Amino acid sequence: MIELHAISKTYTRPSGDTVHALSDLSLRIDRGEFVAIVGASGSGKSTLMNLLGLLDRPTEGRYLFDGRDVASLDVANQARFRNRYVGFIFQVFHLLPRTSALENVELPLLYSDRASTTGLGRRALEAVGLADRLYHTPSELSGGQQQRVAIARALVNEPDLLLADEPTGNLDAQSASEVMDIFDALNRSGRTVVLVTHDLAVAARARRVVRLKGGRVVADARPTEPKDALEEVQ
């Protein structure tokens, strides 16, 4: 589904010096995979996620999604692509304040060209176990619940790809485990999940672990048992 060919991303700091966040990175992710991206802080994990989700463009290299070169789409079509194929989950939730869980979840539907969107928001919230919190605003929800709202928002448009950048980074162990249960279930029902984490317990639940270092892939393990994958990349 995803093919990255020799991707580089170079940032130029205001001071003038350049940072190679990703260099010559190639990666292939197939439909239905559950991939954890690990690596030290600054190794380029977020940059990779942003490129995968077309929030940013690579400086060099090609990004094929289902065989289509999507990195070179124009701004409007990239937005359409994000809306239709990608669901984002962020470490800091990014929910609209003073706005009900349901309305937050329905946000992507505002920009969708679907014929009918009735009931989708409600169903997405039910899928993350928040059927009884439809009209709560973010400030009335716990961190774990907020992240589940954010997951519902990522799900609402039924995307092929879920991208989660440190989704459990702001959660306690209990909530983190609940969130991971949801990702597990989503992946089992056929969705491709890519998540960034530096929590090994979280990474241990993925089927494949990719380790980045200095903007390159330094280890990539996809054995049958998730736990072994983690050991292998270590």
Ligand X SMILES: Nc1ncnc2c1ncn2[C@@H]1O[C@H](COP(=O)(O)OP(=O)(O)O)[C@@H](O)[C@H]1O
Binding mask 132-151 for ligand X (x = CB under 6 A): --------------------
3 state DSSP class of 7 = strand
- Closest CB 196 distance from another protein, rounded Å: 15
Is residue 47 near Mg ion by the rule CB under 5 A? no
Residues 172-231 that bind another protein (CB under 8 A): none
Residues 6+ apart with CB under 8 A from 181: none
User: How far is 150 from 114, CA to CA, in rounded Å?
Assistant: 20
Length of the chain: 234
**Applying CB under 6 A, which of residues 25, 43, 78, 163 lies at the interface with ligand X?**
43
Check binding of 47 to ligand X (CB under 6 A).
Answer: yes
When CB distances are held under 5 to 8 angstroms depending on the partner's kind, the choice from Mg ion, another protein, ligand X, none that residue 21 binds is ligand X
Residue from 45, 133, 148, 153 that binds another protein (CB under 8 A)? 153
Q: Is residue 131 a contact residue for ligand X (CB under 6 A)?
A: no
Q: Is 168 in the site for ligand X (CB under 6 A)?
A: no
Q: Supply the minimum distance, in Å, between the C-beta of residue 43 and ligand X.
A: 4
In angstroms, the CA 171 to CA 164 distance is 14
Choose which of 29, 34, 46, 175 interacts with ligand X (CB under 6 A).
46
Q: Is 139 helix (H, G, I), strand (E, B) or coil?
A: helix
Between 212 and 229, name the residue whose CB sits nearer to ligand X.
Answer: 212
**Residue 163 belongs to what H/E stretch?**
strand 161-165
Beta-sheet strands, E only, within 30-99: 34-39, 60-65, 68-69, 86-89
145 with 130: CB under 8 angstroms?
Answer: yes
Measure the CA–CA gap between 151 and 105, rounded to whole angstroms: 8
Q: What is the binding site for another protein (CB under 8 A)?
A: 50, 53, 55-56, 75-76, 79-80, 82-84, 88, 90, 94, 96, 98-99, 103, 106-112, 117, 153, 157
